Structures are given as structure tokens and as C-alpha cells.
Amino acid sequence: MSNTKYIIGSFADPDEMMDGIDRLQANNIGIYDCFTPMPIHGIEAKLGVRPSRLPIAAFCFGITGTMLGFSLLYYTMTYDWPMNIGGKPALPLPNFVPVTFEVTILLCALGMVATFFFRNHLFPGRAPRVMDLRASDDRFIIAVDARENTDHEKIANLLKEAGAVEVKYNERKYVSYE
Amino acid sequence: MSSHNESILREPLITGKDITYAKVTDDILLPVENKPNKAWWIGFTLAALGALLWVVSVSYTFWTGIGAWGLNKTVGWAWDITDFVWWVGIGHAGTLISAVLLIFRQNWRNSINRSAEAMTIFAVICAATYVVAHMGRPWLAYWIFPLPNQFGSLWVNFNSPLVWDAFAISTYFTVSLVFWYCGLLPDIASVRDRAAGLKRRIYSIMSFGWNGSVKTWQRFEIVSLILAGISTPLVLSVHTIVSMDFATSVIPGWHTTIFPPYFVAGAIFSGFAMVQTLLLVMRKVLNFENYITMFHIESMNKIILVTGSIVGIAYLTELFIAWYSGSEYEMYAFANRIAGPYWWAYWTMMTCNVISPQLFWFKKIRTSIPISWVLSIVVNIGMWFERFVIIVTSLHRDYLPSSWAMFYPSWVDVGIFVGSIGVFFTLFLLFLRFLPSIAIAEVKLLLKSASLQQKTKLVKEGHLNPEQVEFFRNSLTKYDSVTEEDIKELEIK
């Protein structure tokens, strides 16, 4: 088992997986990551994953959009070529609201999603880094780094006690590469 | 927590026995992983023929110009803009389901949001084609955007709602597409991990390398929530701006402040009707009865009832204000709608939009699949006529009686409309064939809280209030996917 890189605990039930995390942590065994077919609420707190800062990014992009949108309107309608359109003022603020709003939303959405993709390395054609192919179907996976945690038998026992249906010793980190 | 016990009073969102996580994936991916059946091919052939008609009609329009339509000097906007507003309105239900219901934590959205969002995107595509077609010279369509140009740097007029509309529709389309695709990533990954060969490669590219790690899911949920938060005002703004295309003009019948809320309610009304039309067929053909249950159908019918009533009140308010304003022109516009040459259009609209949804007050009708389906189509016919009435009857008799005219559609008008329905269904059927039409991950989320098998288990454990269990049992009788045996199992011994 010396070639084992990761120990994979495969659970059929999310609550049993959570139990598995508790058991491992109680024994001071660090968890590399979990892979699940659906979002598990409360798992971040358990694993000490910090809250996402994406809302901040979204807000910044939104504000940028507001400023860009308004600047565009101000530049074109008021500064560059003011025109008399039905006697309306050159700076018709109420008429600027809709476009400014739309640009805000557009930039907020695109900027936030781009940040999400960038931070998680999601882009078309990226080779999927999957540790167990059933993690996107019906298995809830706990991955433990086998080099840092050497007592492999104990880890396997703890996972099985928690209800793991299968414990795998992966010699390759990602099984998805061909 | 996934194991959180939901109140027994809440009706189940997933029915059926022995539903496991694996079965959810299997059931939903069935149409994606297998060859399409006969029903799909028949539908697709019909839709593709419709799309062909659209190509012919639109090409003919571009070749000969807008004169190919039935427009004249007095009625400059008619079928084309009617169809545009109709399609944009239909699109709104998808965003409402995916965004507004997410913010309000309505879990029943989880199994219908995917297809409703797809419907939004395809409906907006159809709507956008009308705008481009109406420009007459589509190769100059980019003139609507404020690009630096060679005409003395002449900018677009940002005072015009038509320019706002270009911004609103393009933003709406982009944000809806991004929202939809982000939600699709985990489900495309499910397809990818089960597929082999070329299929695996294609879905792998489409999945963006999704792996479902803790951090990915955490960010995914934040992104969904914020996108929902910004889509909600966005969807309201879009139809508000569409209504301003009319309301900011000085045409009697258009120049009213009630238009924005009235258009938004109408949009949701027609959109939900379209979702109903599609889903009732989809759940039957693709065997999704356990995921799109009677509770979903009834809830959507209730929304149709509410928004239909808002639309009805708006019609009556319009009439009252026309009289109360004391404006001769305003009063004439409405008298002309009711009893003028287009009276039949007005009364079709009134019957379909105001009277027919009121039938949903009856539980028997609300929970009947065939009647719901027929009424959903009736509503969409009514909503098409609403736009036709607003646009054509307000224009055809303008201030000068010498220029009064009638509008008669040409075959090109009809061809583009029927064809756009073909385009819509072609896209929708391709979607059903190649992408998971129910959000797999989100349905899995409900499996351990809101499914019938979980609730049956809770009842059998027997710590629940018998009265509440009785209530729950009674609520199950309307489900077509729950057998009498299932209900019997819930009896407390």
C-alpha cells in the first residue's frame, strides 16, 4: 500500500459522510476534500472552509457597471453631442436610470460568474479532476491524503464504521484522466 | 442539512418508491443517454418544418422588405411587435421560477427550473428575431448600440425606450443564459462521468471540468443566490421597459401609467401557462411523473390564477381610468376596442385571460391534467390577443379619420409567427434530447426531506400528530403518481 496516494471513502448517504468527517476529525486525521453530487449544507463549517467572498466581487463589479453605464450616457448625451430632443434637457437623469441599471446587472452577473470560473479553474475543455467517477451520481466521497496520514488501516476502519460502502486506495490522484 | 425533517403538512415534491440518488440520475438522464423515441421524432419533425417556414418567411421579408407584411401607413406596428411582446412575456416565467422562487425558498422550483429557464432562453431568442426582422435592414441592427461611428459620432438617443429595450433584452438574455448554464454544470458532469468515448469528450468540454468539491459547491450556491437576486429586479425591469415602448408615447390606449405592473403580471401569467403546456407533455412523455408532481401543477395553476386576476383588474382599471380621465380620445380608444371593428379580438382576450383562469378556483379543475393543459393554451391565445388589441386597435384609428385603416396580416406575417413557434419547439426538443431537463443535483437535495418515501418513513416511525398525518394523507389523493396503496401505508395503526 505504499503507492497509495489518496484513500477514498465512498458513502451512499450524505449524513453518513458527515459522520465520517466527524470521526476522522476526532482522530486528528486531516481531510483533503469531499466530492458530492449535490451541495451539502453545513459541510463548510465542519471542514473549516471559509465563507466565499464572491458577494464582494459581485458588488464591486456591479458598482463598476453603474459607473460605466452612467459614464457612457453622460459622455454621449451630455458631453460629446448634446442634442435638443423634444426640448428635453441634455442631462435627463430619469431617462438614464434604465440603461444604467441594465449595465449594472450585466456587469455584476458576468463579472461574478467569471470570478467564480477563474477561482475554481472552470473553463471549457478543462480536464475534470475527479477522484471518484460516482461522485457526480450517487456517492458522497471523502478523500484523505494517504501520504500525510500514514495509518491507513485506521482511516479505513473509521470510514467503514461511519457507514462507508466502499474504501478505495487510489494510486493516482485523479481517476478521470485517460 | 439534508436530513432535516420537513413538516408532515407539506406535500411531497418527489413521489414513488425506492427512489435513490442513483435512480434520480438514471430517470432524469434517460432521454439523454438513450436514443429518442418515436414521439420525440414526430415532434421534432413537425417543429423543424415550422422552423423551415420561419426561415422562408424571414428570408422573404429580408429580400422584399417590410412591405411583405400587412402593415400600412396608419398601422405601423402590428403582428411583428405583438409576437415580440408575446415571446418576451413567455420568457419571464422561467426567470420567475428560477430566481424569485429561489429567493423565497420555494423548493418545488427545483424540478421545474431547468426546463423553464431553457424555455426563457428560447423564447427570448424568438423575441429577438422579431426585433431584428422589424428593422428591415438586419445587417444594420448594430446601429441600436452606441458604437463610435463615421456619422459625426452620432450617438443613439438614450431618451428612447426602444434603446432601453435593446439594453434590457440583451442583458436579460445574457444573464439568463449564464444562470442556466451555471446550473447545468454539475448535471453535465453527471452525464460526463457516466458516458464513454466521444460523448464523454463532448460533455467533458461542456462541463468546464466540474468536480463537485466542497469549495466548488459553496461558490456555486453563492453564485446561484446572487444571480437570483439580480435577476429578480432584472426581469421586472425588462417587461417594464417593454411596456414603456408603448406607455411613453402619446397614443390614446398606450399612454397609461398602469402599463408596467400590468405588463409584468401578464408576462408571468403567459409564461406560467407556457411552462404548463410544455411540462404536462414532458412529464408524460419522459416519465417524470414522480418529479413533476401534481403539487407542482397545482402550484403553477395557482400562480396563473393570481396573475390572471391581476391582469383582469388591470383591464378594468384601464376602462375606468379611460372614463374617469374625461379625455375624449382615451374614451374613444377603449370604446373602439370593445365595440369597434376589432371587437372580436377584445372579447377573445377578455374571455381567455379574465374568465378562463377563474376556473382554477375549483380544485377539481386545478388538479386535472387535461383541463390544465387546455386552459394553459387558452391563456396563451388570450395573451397573444391582448398584445394584438393593445397594439393594433390603438393605432388603426388615429387622430385623423381620413387615415383610419384596418390591419390584415399577409402570409408572411402568419408564416413568421407560426414559424417562430417551430423554432421554439425545435430548440426545446433538442434541449430535452441533449441536456438534463431536470436539475439533478437540486432534486437530490430534496430526496431526504421532501420525498414521499421519507415522509412515509416518518409516519411509520410514529411520533407525528395523527391529525397532521391525516391531513397529509388527504392531500395525497390528488396526486396521479401516488397509488391508493401508498396512501393506505400511511394509516396509523
Q: For the residues of A73-133, what is the DSSP string, one character each?
A: HIIIIIII----STT--SS-HHHHHHHHHHHHHHHHHHHHHHHHHHHTT--TTPPP--S-G
Is B167 part of the contact surface with chain A (CB cutoff 8 Å)?
yes
Beta-carbon separation of B3 and A14 below 8 A: yes
What whole-number distance in Å separates Cα of residue B266 and Cα of residue B311? Answer: 6
What pLDDT is stored for residue B276 in this prediction?
93
Produce one character per residue of B258-283: b if its CB has 16 or more CB atoms within 10 Å, e if not.
ebbebbbbbbbbbbbbbbbbbbbebb
pLDDT bracket for residue B2 (50, 70, 90): very low
Residues of A in contact with B164 (CB under 8 A): 98-99, 102
Is B206 part of the contact surface with chain A (CB cutoff 8 Å)?
yes
Q: What are B439's three cell numbers?
A: 436539475
What pLDDT is stored for residue A65 in this prediction?
95
Residues of B in contact with A98 (CB under 8 A): 161, 164, 167-168, 237, 241, 244
% of chain B residues with pLDDT over 90: 56
Q: For the residues of B204-244, what is the DSSP string, one character each?
A: HHHTTT---BHHHHHHHHHHHHHHHHHHHHHHHHHHHHHHH
Residues of B in contact with A83 (CB under 8 A): 157
Q: Quote the DSSP letter at residue B291.
A: T
Q: What are B49's three cell numbers?
A: 418544418
Those residues with Cβ within 8 angstroms of residue B425's Cβ, 6 or more apart along the chain or in another chain: B43, B46, B47, B50
Residues of A in contact with B218 (CB under 8 A): 39, 44, 49, 51-52
Beta-carbon separation of A102 and B194 below 8 A: no
pLDDT in tens, B14-50: 888 888 898 999 999 998 888 888 888 999 999 999 9
What pLDDT is stored for residue A53 in this prediction?
92
Residues of A in contact with B22 (CB under 8 A): 137-138
With 70 as the cut, is the pLDDT of residue B112 above it?
yes
Of B184-198, B382-396, B447-461, the poorest mean pLDDT is in B447-461
Beta-carbon separation of A15 and B241 below 8 A: no
pLDDT bracket for residue B298 (50, 70, 90): very high
Distance from B137 to chain A by nearest Cα, in Å? Answer: 24
pLDDT in tens, B320-361: 999 998 989 999 999 999 999 999 999 999 999 999 999 999
Torsion of CA B54, B93, B308, B389, to 10 degrees: -30
Cα angle: B183, vertex B445, A59; to 5 degrees: 45
Facing B219 at nearest CB: one of A41, A52, A95? A52
What pLDDT is stored for residue B492 in this prediction?
67
**Do the Cβ atoms of B29 and B431 come closer than 8 Å?**
no
CA contacts within 13 A on the Cβ side of B246:
29
For residues B433-456, average pLDDT? 89
pLDDT string in tens for chain A (178-residue length): 468 888 888 998 888 898 889 888 888 888 888 999 999 888 888 888 899 999 999 999 999 999 999 999 999 888 888 888 888 888 889 999 999 999 999 999 999 999 999 998 999 988 888 888 888 888 899 998 888 888 888 888 888 888 888 888 888 888 876 5
What pLDDT is stored for residue B356 in this prediction?
92
Domains defined along chain B, listed by start? 1-18+452-493 (no CATH), 21-450 (1.20.1630.10)
Residues of B in contact with A42 (CB under 8 A): 1
CA B247 to chain centre: 23
Facing A15 at nearest CB: one of B2, B158, B206? B2
What whole-number distance in Å separates Cα of residue B310 and Cα of residue B314? Answer: 6
Of B102-116, B297-311, B405-419, B448-462, the poorest mean pLDDT is in B448-462
Facing A88 at nearest CB: one of B146, B159, B194? B159
Residues of A in contact with B197 (CB under 8 A): none
Q: What are B480's three cell numbers?
A: 396521479
The predicted complex's ipTM stands at 0.92
Beta-carbon separation of A99 and B164 below 8 A: yes
**Do the Cβ atoms of B393 and B342 come closer than 8 Å?**
yes
pLDDT bracket for residue B1 (50, 70, 90): very low
With 90 as the cut, is the pLDDT of residue B384 above it?
yes
For residues B7-18, average pLDDT? 86
pLDDT bracket for residue B392 (50, 70, 90): very high
What whole-number distance in Å separates Cα of residue A140 and Cα of residue A17? Answer: 6
% of chain B residues with pLDDT over 70: 98
What whole-number distance in Å separates Cα of residue B452 and Cα of residue B319? Answer: 48
Q: What is the mean pLDDT of chain B?
A: 89
Tell me the residues of chain B between 272 and 301 that have a Cβ less than 8 Å away from chain A.
none
Beta-carbon separation of B3 and A52 below 8 A: no
Mutant choice from A10, A38, A113, A126 vs B, greatest count of B C-beta within 10 A:
A38
Domains defined along chain A, listed by start? 6-51+130-170 (3.30.70), 54-119 (no CATH)
Tell me the residues of chain B between 10 and 49 that have a Cβ less than 8 Å away from chain A.
20-22, 25
pLDDT in tens, B225-273: 999 999 999 999 999 999 999 998 888 889 888 999 999 999 999 999 9
Beta-carbon separation of B190 and A47 below 8 A: no
As beta bridge partners, residue A140 has: A11
| H/E segment holding residue B278 | helix B259-285
Distances (CA, A) of B38 to A110, B280, B286, B373: 40, 18, 12, 22
Distance from A34 to chain B by nearest Cα, in Å? Answer: 6
What whole-number distance in Å separates Cα of residue B127 and Cα of residue B123? Answer: 6
